[in-house]
Homo-oligomer: A and B are copies of this chain.
């Protein structure tokens, strides 16, 4: 089959949407164990003594490496802490961190990244317990790639497949902040207020939510934004999801930038937000618990899960419903 034989990796294959999912299914999951086929935020490995070990990994390639609100160091820690938290594991045992550096990278800059990794670790109550350092020649790598893997034990893993009809959808705050801040930094445009990334470790926030009620599914809406997260949950849980457009919190500056660029904030990456699917009777208590936390002040109920149209996501605009497509390709490369 010549078309497949000549196929090449494109930017969309790293964009967190349908193209990436297909590449992973086509190449990486062939012959893979059921656990990795679940394609959750992390793997769940049952332990002999009870409970499960959660393992999650992420390579961080963001560009620029320093942006309003954070840098690749804070991102590398937060991204992995958050993937653990999304599985219900809010107490990381530790992180492993692999750094690939371009020859000529300033050691000062490396120290700065290291400092912000340390600060993010302190905030998340964890640390980097092991690492690896590789150097590639000048021109072989643009800057630095940081891959962070996290491990944690939990007794009740929260899976993408756990949503059931009737469940309530919550987002923990304003959406689109990270992606829009990086886009603005890269293109040096301004929209009144400075756009800042929301990058933050969310395990404390998630701990508060789990203590307040029943969480059936969770996802951090990174690449592909809230749209991608909702599609994953709808697909794996076999529910239909409807979100109310006017209920979704979006900052004025992000809204303005998104309108100008013609991008739906639902497709923009976040690094300090979570989408929670919760039991209806828990929803109010969970929103209250989230709002009491500095990272959850703008938490809001934004939608619901239905038995109808399983696997689909719709947006209620107030005038009717429109299908929300699954992001396919590249909105912005190297966003995380």
A36 to B, closest residue via Cβ: B129
Q: A8-B107, A137-B11 are in contact. Are A130 and B57 (CB under 8 A)?
A: yes
Complex partner residue of A8 from B12, B94, B104, B137, CB under 8 angstroms: B104
**Please, which residues of chain B bring their CB within 8 A of the CB of A258?**
none
A143 to B, closest residue via Cβ: B140
Task: Indicate if the CB atoms of A136 and B334 lie closer than 8 Å.
Answer: yes
Task: Indicate if the CB atoms of B135 and A96 lie closer than 8 Å.
Answer: no
**Please, which residues of chain B bring their CB within 8 A of the CB of A290?**
none
Instruction: Identify which of residues 240-292 in chain A touch chain B, using a CB-to-CB cut-off of 8 Å.
Output: none
Measured between alpha carbons, how far is A110 from B56 in the docked complex, in Å? 22
Task: Indicate if the CB atoms of A131 and B55 lie closer than 8 Å.
Answer: no
Task: Indicate if the CB atoms of B128 and A32 lie closer than 8 Å.
Answer: yes
Interface 9-residue window, one of A21-29, A156-164, A179-187, A205-213 = A21-29
A130 to B, closest residue via Cβ: B43
Task: Indicate if the CB atoms of A110 and B57 lie closer than 8 Å.
Answer: no
Task: Indicate if the CB atoms of A333 and B137 lie closer than 8 Å.
Answer: yes
A residues whose Cβ falls under 8 Å from a Cβ of B:
4-15, 20, 23-24, 26-28, 30-33, 35-36, 40, 42-43, 45, 47, 49, 53, 55-61, 93-94, 96-108, 110-111, 114, 118, 127-137, 139-142, 145, 147, 149, 151, 153, 333-334
Closest 7 CB pairs of A and B: A14-B135, A43-B129, A57-B96, A149-B149, A43-B130, A147-B147, A140-B142
